[in-house]
């Protein structure tokens, strides 16, 4: 065994499916010996494991007892409901979280849509670019510090998000990242999921649990961020939309089939809800003859929530960089 390998920390990646990513990253982290959950069982010398990286894998007392030399545990993603943090603290293990690129990208788009809707951004742009001032009897004049054409559109939809309530349906990694951003913007966050977060996580993300009906009735913005399953297919239909405020907006960055698109279109057409920001649709690309293309209270995106893209190698690499730093401290 070489000197560098002998001095390497053994890092256990607790989730299956990371073998290829670990192999690609091994040369960049010669000081970390990577062992994956789906490696041959003989590859794991549990007494040598000093670092643990977990995504969705359960980290409980039983696992920790099998890793007596563990010094650092990192959660891949900010929400750690699958981690027994009390057990880690009792053992004196240094614990932290590493944000995942994928959920960050989607949460950024959700927040972008919320802010764009609050400023009626698409209609505002079109009014300026098309010279709509001409239909209001206005003439362009040179501006000065106290001479401006403030709010010349007189657009009643423009408002601030501070103090507004954001309802997040599905409080997974995307929902938690969105809640962090909403809190910074001064919004209140309520969320709905099958199993509420712990009090510790609710405090971390500045969010409180609500039933689905209560969330729909209280929220100024509703963001759908839950997986598309047989259970969630059409979960936001006409009865649910009817519970929303007439001044509320719906944002969907999950999957199109979770919302009854026809019911949503009908509500948007008749101003029973104020608007929508949509990155996903029942059919993609959105058909050119969709009624959504004709509505002025929606913002449409071509499923760009994933941003510039990510993969397990990118996200594991971020965790390994954080692990190296934590073990060096």
pLDDT in tens, 280-321: 999 999 999 999 999 999 999 999 999 999 999 999 999 999
Q: Is 206 helix (H, G, I), strand (E, B) or coil?
A: coil
Residue 8: which pLDDT band, with cuts at 50, 70 and 90?
Answer: confident
d(CA 25, CA 33): 10
Q: Residues 263-289: what's their mean pLDDT?
A: 98
pLDDT given at position 7? 59
Structure-model confidence comparison of residues 156 and 41, the more confident one: 156
- C-alpha dihedral, 102 to 107 to 112 to 115, nearest 10°: 180
Among 231, 225, 232, 188, residue whose Cα is nearest residue 305: 225
Please check whether residue 82 is in contact with residue 198, taking contact to mean a CB–CB distance below 8 angstroms.
Answer: no
Average pLDDT over residues 140-164: 97
Mean local confidence (pLDDT), 228-248: 98
Q: Which of 251, 252, 255 shows the shortest CA–CA distance to 232?
A: 255
Q: Decide: 69 and 51 in contact? Cβ < 8 Å.
A: no
Q: Which of 159, 228, 303, 324 is catalytic?
A: 303
Catalytic residue selected from 45, 200, 284, 294 = 284
| Tally of CB atoms within 10 A around 219 | 25
Q: How confident is the model at residue 44 (pLDDT cuts 50, 70, 90)?
A: confident
Gap between the Cα atoms of 256 and 232, Å rounded = 11
In the chain, the domains with their CATH numbers are 3-100+311-328 (3.40.50.720), 103-120+157-300 (3.40.50.720)
Q: Tell me the whole-structure pTM to 2 decimals.
A: 0.95
Structure tokens at 77: 């993603």
Active site annotation includes 181: no
pLDDT classification of 40: cutoffs 50, 70, 90: confident
**% pLDDT > 70, the chain:** 98
Annotated catalytic residue within 9, 255, 261, 315: 255
- Count of C-beta atoms within a 10 Å radius of residue 167: 27
* Residue 244 to residue 250: CA distance in whole angstroms: 9
For CA atoms 134, 139, 142, 144, give the dihedral sign: negative
Token pair 């293309």 is found at: 293
Q: Please check the confidence at residue 4 and state whether its pLDDT lies above 70.
A: no
Please measure the distance between the N-terminal and C-terminal CA atoms of the chain and give it in whole angstroms: 26
Q: Is 255 annotated as catalytic? A: yes
């Amino acid at each position: 065994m070489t000197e560098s390998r002998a001095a390497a920390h053994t890092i256990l990646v607790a989730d299956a499916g990371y073998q290829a990513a670990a192999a690609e990253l091994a040369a960049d982290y010669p000081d970390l010996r990577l062992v994956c959950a789906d490696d041959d069982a003989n590859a794991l010398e549990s007494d040598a494991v000093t670092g643990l990286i977990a995504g969705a894998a359960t980290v409980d007392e039983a696992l920790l007892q099998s890793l007596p030399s563990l010094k650092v545990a990192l959660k891949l993603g900010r929400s750690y409901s699958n981690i027994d943090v009390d057990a880690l603290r009792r053992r004196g293990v240094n614990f932290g979280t590493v944000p995942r690129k994928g959920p960050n990208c989607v949460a950024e788009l959700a927040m972008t849509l919320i802010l764009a809707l609050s400023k009626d951004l698409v209609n505002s742009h079109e009014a300026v670019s098309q010279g709509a001032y001409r239909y209001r009897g206005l003439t362009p004049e040179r501006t000065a510090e106290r001479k401006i054409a403030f709010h010349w559109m007189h657009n009643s939809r423009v408002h601030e998000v501070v103090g507004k309530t954001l309802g997040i349906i599905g409080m997974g990694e995307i929902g938690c990242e969105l809640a962090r951003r909403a809190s910074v913007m001064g919004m209140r966050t309520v969320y709905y999921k099958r199993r509420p977060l712990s009090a510790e996580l609710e405090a971390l993300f500045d969010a409180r649990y609500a039933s689905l009906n209560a969330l729909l009735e209280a929220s100024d913005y509703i963001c759908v961020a839950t997986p598309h399953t047989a259970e969630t297919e059409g979960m936001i239909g006409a009865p649910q939309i009817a519970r929303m405020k007439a001044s509320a907006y719906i944002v969907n960055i999950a999957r199109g089939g979770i919302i009854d698109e026809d019911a949503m279109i009908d509500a948007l057409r008749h101003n029973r809800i104020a608007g929508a920001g949509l990155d996903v649709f029942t059919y993609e690309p959105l058909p050119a003859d969709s009624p959504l293309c004709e509505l002025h209270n929606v913002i449409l995106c071509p499923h760009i929530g994933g941003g510039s893209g990510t993969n397990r190698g990118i996200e594991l690499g971020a965790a390994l960089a954080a692990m190296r730093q934590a073990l060096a401290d």
